Amino acid sequence: MQIAGATASVNTMASQVLIKARNLTKRYNHFTAVDHINFEVYKGECVGFLGPNGAGKTTTVRMIYCFSPVTEGELTVAGMNVSTNSREIKRMVGVAPQEDNLDPDFTVLKNLQVYARYFDIPKAEATKRAITLLEFFQLEEKQASAINELSTGMKRRLILARALINQPQILIVDEPTTGLDPQGRHIVWDEIRSLLKQGVTVILTTHYMDEAAALCDRVLIIDNGKIIETGVPQELVKKHVGEDVLEVSYDEDVLKTLKEELPEAHIEIFGDQIRVFMSQPHGVFEHIITKFSGVNMSIRNANLEDVFLKLTGRKLRE
């Protein structure tokens, strides 16, 4: 089912860069939320903006969809400047914000119809698109329901459906699965994957690393308003953490021995757990496990969360 208008796009001939930021900066009085960042988003990819709370990811995407004015630097979407062409840019972007801002005064179907009107979509066309979207997001049975009768997962899906009513080329999803149960998350992931297959460019912000790994072609890790790393999820894991992680129950003697045995390893304490990261762990971890038989140890695959915590540290934000 064709949902988005991206495949029939206008700019296939031109450069594949759809969004470009140069020294992009956002300041609130004396607080710098986004600090001279540079990035590109290519047509058809899924880019994840990752970062702890308050890192600047939502501020960055809000500048992309022309909600927040740029303080300094340059930001273009499809070659248009966000400061001067906001109306044109907003026409080609779909936004699924983090908070629920569905219109509680209308039913599910009417929410989509009224939103379509904001894009000047004629009523018959709006209704047709709305029905298609409700089917795609498995909400067709709820079309006459009030918003407050929907579950959190249904509301998230309706927000995604609403973001697609203008058949956008770029879909911005700000923390799409926060607060959802595992079933709900997987439904949303499948739907985003299906949109990617149709050629929609997706910008995703999240602080769930499994989500980023599951969906994103590329991630930008943001902290304190700066991009501190960027790349393909699997490659970042390899580069910063290696393939495996050794997890050991915390014990002072074991920790001391580990440090002596593995001087080149990166060892971190996570609560009551010791985590050992090594660039060349093959055979070494197995050797350690045999040596410390009796101590609770296990080897697991390294993941994006390890990268994230290594790069952004463990200090609680907010």
Q: Based on CB atoms, which residue is closest to other proteins, 165 or 188?
A: 165
- Residue 115 or 136: the one with the smaller Cβ distance to other proteins is 115
Sign of CA dihedral 29, 33, 38, 44: negative
Indicate the residue among 119 and 208 with the shorter CB distance to other proteins.
119
Structure tokens at 78: 């499809």
Q: Does 30 bind other proteins (CB under 8 A)?
A: no
Alpha helices per DSSP H over the chain: 57-64, 86-91, 108-118, 123-136, 152-163, 182-197, 209-215, 233-240, 252-261, 284-291, 304-312
| Residue 224 engages other proteins in binding (rule: CB under 8 A) | no
- Residue 207 β-bridge partners: none
Among 2, 72, 103, 256, binds other proteins (CB under 8 A): 103
Residue 97 interacts with other proteins (CB under 8 A): yes or no: yes
Q: How far is CA 228 from CA 38, 105, 106, 242, 245, in A?
A: 11, 43, 43, 18, 22
Binding mask 133-172 for other proteins (x = CB under 8 A): ---------------------------------x------
Kindly list the distances between the CA atom of residue 144 and the CA atoms of 140, 196, 229, in Å, as whole numbers in the listed order: 9, 29, 46
Minimum CB–partner distance for residue 150 and other proteins (Å): 15
CB of 273 to other proteins, least distance (A): 40
Where on the phi/psi map is residue 199: left (φ > 0), alpha (ψ -120 to 50), or beta?
left
Q: Does 78 bind other proteins (CB under 8 A)?
A: no
By CB under 8 A, tell whether 102 contacts other proteins.
Answer: yes
Decide: is 112 part of the binding site for other proteins (CB under 8 A).
no
- Residue 139: exposure state from Cβ atoms within 10 A (0-12, 13-18, ≥19): buried
Residue 120 engages other proteins in binding (rule: CB under 8 A): yes
Give the Å distances, CA to CA, from 81 to 69, 94, 167, 185, 260: 11, 17, 21, 34, 56
Closer residue to other proteins in complex, CB, 55/66: 66
Question: Considering the rule CB under 8 A, would residue 23 count as an interface residue with other proteins?
Answer: no
Q: Quote the least distance from Cβ 167 to other proteins, whole Å.
A: 13
Asked whether position 25 contacts other proteins by CB under 8 A, the answer is: no
Binding residues for other proteins (CB under 8 A): 28, 62, 65-70, 83-84, 86-87, 90-91, 95, 97, 99-106, 110, 114-115, 117-120, 166
